[in-house]
Amino acid sequence: MSGWGCLGFTDDMTDCMHVPVGWWGADAAGNIVIFDQRVPARYRARPIAIPMGYGNNGLLVDGVSTVRAALRIEDVWMERINNPLPATDLHIT
């Protein structure tokens, strides 16, 4: 959602785990660092940051117009449910 993800690998690169946003960052030298102690030490050996591929800023920034359009569609649908069209067609002859 934020545009970047992080995987923490073991030393031998045979296992990894997803590291949630806010549990990792970059130090002054630009190295990825996992600073949250909830990530087991073995997965803090080789963190790799990965761009997630949706635009440049993440789904919540680049996809905001799509999310807003979906909310408008839901509003219209709820209005139709609360105020349905009449099922009877009356004519004066």
pLDDT tens for the 93 residues of the chain, in order: 667 889 999 999 999 999 998 999 999 999 999 999 999 999 999 999 988 765 666 666 777 888 899 999 999 999 999 998 877 877 888
* 84 φψ region: left (φ > 0), alpha (ψ -120 to 50), beta (else): beta
Q: How far is CA 57 from CA 27, 33, 63, 81, 92, in A?
A: 21, 21, 9, 36, 60
How far apart CA 3 and CA 1 sit, in angstroms, is 6
In angstroms and rounded to an integer, the radius of gyration of the C-alpha atoms of the chain is: 24
pLDDT of residue 55: 60
